[in-house]
Chains A and B, each alone.
Chain A
Amino acid sequence: MAEKDISIIHPRPSSIVAALYTLRDLNVDVAILHGPPGCSFKHARLLEEDGIHVVTTALDENGFVFGGRDELSSLLTKVNEMFNPKLIGVVGTCASMIIGEELREPVQDAKLDVPVIEVEVHAGYPNNTKGVLIALESACDAGIIDSDELERQKILLEEATNVEKRHGAASREYLTPSRGDLKYKVAEKVINYLKEGKRCLTIMNAKKETGYMFADITVAINEVAAQLGMEENVINMANVDDTLGLPRVRHHARSIMEDFKEKGITIHENIGGMDEYPIAGEKVSELIAEKYSDFDFAVITGVPHAIPMDNLAGMEVISVTNGPRQVIPLKEMGHTNVIVEIDLHPKTLGVTHIVESEFGATMREVAKDILDAEQEAA
């Protein structure tokens, strides 16, 4: 795809943070940010929920002037004693990279018996996937992943960037964030469609751990359909292949699948691994063309903008995203309704089971009201 020549002015996800999340997926026990104490604070905090320790060398004005080699090597020694880690990651920041700090020497100074993944990254890359890439390349060098997995990830990352450029947060100079459509209105609509006997496709195309919440929408639709006696009209697709991706990502797929099973929900089409959200769209398109082209409506969750509209043209599309900047592009793609699960990501860190979504909860409540009213009337 040709590069679009636009200059995006809204702040976007940072490569430093992307590197941190990648280290988490590689199951590091400790990630060290080499830079100012406030850098990436919010995500560093959230990652602690996910069971890894994120610490900082806390470079101050002196650190900027004199460098922080000693600070980094002594912090490595300290975290090794404090947390007894099996794998450590060190991540650069804008400040440390601009003053020319390098990470190899302080790691060697510390002489640890633990493998260390060094990620020389700053936040000045137009695509935050660069942070993932640098982390993965470094992990490959350190022997944590093999070169096949690295190559696979490279393809996925490139596609992820393309998806954002086509219809995502990198598609426009400035995108106004939006809270999307009112959840109860859309819930009412979905319930009515099910009641009318319309055929429904649920498509969960979730990015890694966000699946823990998007899966709840699949669950809610199936529950409501069952209450209405319409479960036969719902077909479920989800990217929950647990044989693909980094160890932690496979674990998420396994956990979510188990929950689906326990709740009696059939995933008719497993559309890929939980890191395959940028490429699962093609598969979804093929499946629809093959088997489901006569369905009435689709509810797409996760990364809905990665699903091409071609084969969805005959259906009404309702989508659920966690990106407030995603509402406008999705409406422009032709989605009738777009719902935003605000603050979804923090609630999916550190969990191993499906967590309740606002839209799922709304649907359950609205369905209950409708059914209660009908019973009273009867």
Chain B
Amino acid sequence: MMAQKRIAIYGKGGIGKSSTASNVAAACADEGYKVMIIGCDPKSDSSITLLGGKRIPTILDLLRQKIDVKEEDIVHEGYKGVKCVEVGGPEPGIGCAGRGIIVAIQKLKQMCKSIDDMDLIIYDVPGDIVCGGFVAPIRKGLVNQAYILTSGEYMPLYAANNICRGLAKIDTQLSGIICNSRSVTREEDIVRKFSGEIGSKLMAFIPKEQIVQDCERDGFSVLEKAPDSPVAGVYRELAHAIMSNEDSVMPEALEDERLRELTR
């Protein structure tokens, strides 16, 4: 039996973490893997394209109503049996989202028995590691592989580089870099170089394709709605790469000056 992969995808906000996570989840489900996706963003939009555009009740929604939460209340099956969980969070500007993640993760560990049967669990975490709560999945030992998603633009790379520092701080190794293209010049080259210089590797280059957006607008993953599109193939390759990846390193963040040079 293969070891369970529990991955987290980090990266600058808006760079496409949820899109990538749900497409990879769908691709792995196509291959017959048992997959769970756990959305840790208070916006709770990680699993929406696996559920035909529907939202599911979040763990924190239920805890807020003081409901005695059961597994079936929080784990919802989506595309090809992918198990979808959303942590949820307080209203923006009120309470503490970080604490919310900690509480929800504890609840999930306690309630969710099916988590042990999974081949792949994807934690879709908020973009920046802003406080202790946002690294709870890692700190609680739930994640064993971290990936960073970036484009070849300066700011997402800057964020990626910063996340490398954060990972070193929380003693978590990096398993690879994924490039979600924004169609900027020399993009693949830049991200590949960056990956190498921090000591990691480029897992996939996902081209910018309108079809991804179109499927999302309809509430579906590319794998479900446009399985024959070239980008669906890229997601499949990425899924393979992730499932067979055994390498991980402690990334070494670049100096700001070097990062600037790289993107020039």
Contact = CB atoms under 8 A, between A and B. Distances in A.
Q: Are these two chains actual partners, yes or no?
A: yes
Interface of A: 61-67, 69, 98-100
A99 B96 contact: yes
Contacts of A98: 96
Nearest to A98: B96
Contact of A62 (B66, B89, B91, B97): B66
14 contacts: A61-B99, A62-B66, A63-B95, A64-B95, A64-B103, A65-B63, A65-B89, A66-B64, A66-B94, A66-B100, A67-B90, A67-B96, A98-B96, A99-B95
B64 to A, nearest CB: 6
B237 to A, nearest CB: 39
A65 to B, nearest CB: 4
Main secondary structure of the interface of A (DSSP, over half): helix
Contacts of A65: 60, 63-64, 89-90, 95-97, 99-100, 103
A95 to B, nearest CB: 9
Contacts of B94: 66-67, 69, 100
B118 to A, nearest CB: 26
Nearest to A99: B96
B63 A62 contact: yes
A83 to B, nearest CB: 28
Nearest to B91: A66
Contacts of A100: 94-96
Nearest to B94: A67
A251 B233 CA distance: 83
A61 B95 CA distance: 11
Chain B, interface residues (CB within 8 Å), range: 10 to 19
Interface string B89-121: 111001111011001000000000000000000
- Among the interface residues B94, B95, B103, which one has the most CB atoms of the partner chain A within 10 A? B95
A61 B96 contact: no
A61 B64 contact: no
Contacts of B63: 61-62, 65
Contacts of A61: 63, 99, 103
A62 B89 CA distance: 11
A355 B1 CA distance: 76
Given A62-B66, A100-B95, 7 more contacts: A61-B99, A64-B95, A64-B103, A65-B63, A65-B96, A67-B94, A99-B96
B88 to A, nearest CB: 10
A99 B103 CA distance: 14
Contact of B64 (A62, A69, A99): A62
Nearest to A64: B99
Contacts of B66: 62
Contacts of A67: 90, 94-96
A64 B90 CA distance: 10
Contacts of A99: 95-96, 99
A62 B94 CA distance: 12
- Among the interface residues A61, A65, A66, A98, which one has the most CB atoms of the partner chain B within 10 A? A65
A65 B103 CA distance: 8
A323 to B, nearest CB: 36
A100 B89 CA distance: 15
Cβ-closest 6 pairs across A and B: A67-B95, A99-B96, A65-B100, A67-B94, A66-B95, A66-B90
